[in-house]
A and B are shown apart, each in its own frame.
Chain A
Amino acid sequence: MSGQRGWPLWEVFVRARRGLSHQHVGSLHAPDAAMALRNARDVYTRRGEGVSIWVVPASAIAASSPDEKDAFFDPALDKAYRHPTFYDVPEGVSHL
């Protein structure tokens, strides 16, 4: 039972149907990408939930840290002028 421990973790993304992007649905362990894809099909699409699957080694994902989330996302918070609701539209103007 040499390698049963430490099979890499794969994050699974499924495209539910054409026109939609792949969405993260969960994760699984598998020794390689081919097995990860097969297992992802059996675990996450038993009822036709997808038309395409991506599996990505979890170790390949770089993520922002929850600890620095304020500092990291702050620059977006004080720029209300990026939203259309920031602007006054005079009465009677339509299609704007």
Chain B
Amino acid sequence: MYGNIDRIEPPDAPSDATSDAPADGDGGGMVAAARHAEFDRLIADDQRIEPRDWMPDGYRKTLIRQIAQHAHSEIIGMQPEGNWITRAPSLRRKAILIAKVQDEAGHGLYLYSAAETLGVDREDLLDQLHAGKQKYSSIFNYPTLSWADMGAIGWLVDGAAILNQVPLCRCSYGPYGRAMVRICKEESFHQRQGFEILHTLSRGTPAQHAMAQDAVNRFWWPSLMMFGPPDESSAHTVQSKAWGIKRFGNDELRQRFVDMCVDQARVLGLDLPDPDLRWNAERGHHDFGVIDWAELNRVIRGDGPCNADRMARRVGAHEDGAWVRDAADAYAAKHSRDTAAVA
């Protein structure tokens, strides 16, 4: 699960251009210019950049920020669904939900591993998450109030994530693209199981149908926000596109998502909560209502319904797991002594 969350933050510096400029004066300038030219050539040829290649500081920083936020989103994303594992309505649903939450943990690990190829430590990234210095997708700051929310998250949240993620499989940075290939393969099960939950509830009793509709009502707008702000106010889109990190604009992906969901909602027998949603034959797309960006900014700033809760749970889990890490360390130390003694 993931949104274009990094697009929402203001850029941390006006430009990295100065730090990428070749040094003047000595021969080092020539080498730097040649390296930069080689980087530009690879990007222009739609080739991949690999970990030990030279890359501009801005490219590296952008990737670290984006991959770290993506990784954080995966592991924080375990919480809204973990909330329902003990209350899943059947053994089948429980087994599926456990597998899905385990996948989210795995996706986090693929991504931390990709981020580390850029020269950062996973522990440092986690520290920054725990200190509130790095963000995760705002969608996970909404509560999961009913079982139907597991369906809405799978259908809408994972559906939006897939649209964001599929183009990232062709990201110019090799390790990130390879991690995304793996993740996308696994996400499609997530989306389908969500759709199936909603489909089942929608055709159930009137109360179950109402529960499904309520979940869709609450998750529809936050899902649209997952694509990030409109392109004209998106700080990073232009540069990220030039670098081949990002392939499509936020609005284009959002439109694709709306068009896709309208037909699927019809099959589900559920309404999308937008009175302005209608087919526009001229554009060949659905028009939809105005998104409340003030709400998104509130949630990103930390005033969402669950921000404090999610962080407290995350930090608590990390601290509660300390004894496991210590035990693994102690075992490794003892074992290496044994091995040394034998040798």
Listed in ascending order, the chain A residues whose CB lies under 8 Å from chain B are 1-5, 7, 9, 26-32, 34-35, 42-43, 46-47, 63, 65-67
Contacts and interface: CB of A to CB of B under 8 A. Distances in A.
A25 B169 CA distance: 15
6 contacts: A1-B325, A3-B329, A4-B326, A7-B329, A31-B332, A46-B99
Given A4-B322, A26-B179, A66-B53, A31 B106 contact: no
Given A31-B332, A35-B328, A63-B52, A42 B322 contact: no
Contacts of B178: 26
B199 interface: no
B331 A26 contact: no
A43 B110 contact: yes
Contact of A28 (B53, B113, B121, B328): B113
Contact of A32 (B53, B182, B336): B336
A42 B52 contact: no
Given A28-B109, A43-B109, A43-B110, A66 B52 contact: yes
Contact of A1 (B122, B179, B326, B336): B326
Given A2-B329, A26-B179, A31-B328, A42 B50 contact: no
A65 B53 CA distance: 9
B231 interface: no
Nearest to A30: B328
A76 to B, nearest CB: 19
Which of B113, B116, B178, B319 is packed against the most chain A CB atoms within 10 Å? B113
Contacts, number: 61
B103 interface: yes
Which of B50, B99, B123 is packed against the most chain A CB atoms within 10 Å? B123
A3 B102 contact: no
Interface in B87-117: 99, 102-103, 106, 109-110, 113-114, 116
B116 A27 contact: yes
Contacts of A9: 116
Contacts of B182: 26
A46 B102 contact: yes
Given A29-B122, A32-B336, A46-B103, A2 B110 contact: no
A57 to B, nearest CB: 12
B278 interface: no
Interface in B37-79: 50, 52-54
Nearest to B319: A1
Interface string B178-204: 110010001000000000000000000
B110 A26 contact: yes
Nearest to B326: A2
B329 A43 contact: no
B52 A65 contact: yes
A5 B332 contact: no
Contact of A3 (B50, B54, B116, B325): B325
A43 B106 contact: yes
Nearest to B102: A46
Given A26-B179, A46-B102, A3 B113 contact: no
Contacts of B335: 32, 34
B329 A31 contact: yes
Contacts of A47: 186
